[in-house]
Amino acid sequence: MKDKQQSKNFWNELKKPFFVLAPMADVTDFAFRQMFVKYGKPDVLYTEFVSADGLANEEGRNVLLRDLRFDKNEHPIVAQIFGANPENIKKAARLVAELGYDGVDINMGCPDKSIIKQGAGSGLIKNSKLAREIIQAAKEGAVFAGRRIPVSIKTRIGFNKNEIKTWIPQVLAEKPDCLIIHGRTRKELSAVDADWEAIGKVAQMGREAGVVVIGNGDVKSIEDGLEKAEKFHVDGIMVGRGVFGKPWFFDKNRKEILLKDKLEIMLEHTKLFEKEMMGVRLVKSSINIQGVAAPQFNGVKNFNILKKHYKAYVSGFDGAKELRVKLMEAKNADEIEKITREYISENL
């Protein structure tokens, strides 16, 4: 049965090098991912990270299910969870499998102080014993109806310093189905360039352990990703900040985009976000979690979340700063459309 379950690991079936949309809090929501599905779908999509502790109890689960909403056009898609309680990780992994995800990922790299204080995220780099227990628990939990979904780990090269010789072997010893390695320590945050030499060393360690390894950090384009994949021998490339304002990023056939089209896509993103991510609307759901019929919410998001995207959509052209200032003051999609239409009619 174990071999049969391993054969269902979709990571091994992807043509290499493959590209993955990175999980980003308050970024990779349903609306954001749908824009990529339409304009340039990566080989794998990721959700925002979701608390395993919250998913493990009924009250929290009913709220957090909104963050685990996905559509069939998003496969293969991986749900990322975080936590420091193995039993809750196990329950959350089971839920992810039950929801129909293709994989579950454990966040062991988040640098946020509040997450580290819980012992989760990059805090687990300092507690390899607990990290290994969490991987074991996720593997045990990620089974539903005789199907085990693959368990991946996303982490960093260290906490305060490069620790790939001590930290990475601990992770690989538990044989995750995939390891995503970000080329910075927790202490470095984004203050230095990602260390792709270190990523390459982790890729070699992964090959020796028979684990798929994905590199992450400072990838600026598909071409850049392909070059890094070849040079550092990773199986795949994960891209985070580089995709901001570019839902077409993963479209290998699109070389350029007109400013008017870019602004139209920004408007489409805005309207989709307002429609799908704001307000509370109950969606009919057939999901039955651990014997309890569970409601699934579209979601509750603040319109201001979109404004980080406007900074990326609106840059690099004459009048960008002035347009951006106006967009930052807008309160809804109607106002965004009015401002944008005025700019297009007067300048394009």
Predicted confidence band at 279 (pLDDT cuts at 50, 70, 90)?
low
DSSP H helices in the chain: 2-6, 30-39, 52-55, 58-64, 86-99, 113-117, 128-141, 167-172, 196-209, 222-232, 259-277, 307-313, 320-329, 333-347
Tell me the two tokens of residue 235.
Answer: 């199986």
Please name the amino acid found at residue 12.
Answer: N
The 10s digit of each residue's pLDDT in 253-271 is 887 899 999 999 999 999 9
Instruction: Tell me how crowded residue 323 is: count the other CB atoms within 10 A of its CB.
Output: 22
pLDDT of 58: 85
In the chain, the domains with their CATH numbers are 2-243 (3.20.20.70), 259-347 (no CATH)
Predicted confidence band at 62 (pLDDT cuts at 50, 70, 90)?
confident
In the predicted model, what is the mean pLDDT of residues 28-47? 97
The 10s digit of each residue's pLDDT in 75-107 is 999 999 999 999 999 999 999 999 999 999 999
Predicted confidence band at 288 (pLDDT cuts at 50, 70, 90)?
very low
SS3 329: helix
For residues 176 and 272, give the distance between their C-alpha atoms in angstroms, rounded to a whole number.
Answer: 35
SS3 153: strand
Is residue 183 within 8 Å of 198, Cβ to Cβ? yes
In the predicted model, what is the mean pLDDT of residues 108-116? 96
The 10s digit of each residue's pLDDT in 184-241 is 999 998 889 999 999 999 999 999 999 999 999 999 999 999 999 999 999 999 999 9
Residues marked active site are found at 110
In the numeric block, the tokens 């969490």 are attached to: 134
DSSP 183: E
Q: Look up the pTM and report it.
A: 0.92
Tell me the two tokens of residue 152.
Answer: 């991946």
Nearest CA to 240 out of 204, 216, 223 is that of: 216
User: 294 pLDDT exceeds 80?
Assistant: no
**Which string of DSSP letters, residue by residue, matches 157-195?**
EESSS--TTTHHHHHHTT--SEEEEEEEETTTTTSS---
User: 285 pLDDT exceeds 50?
Assistant: no
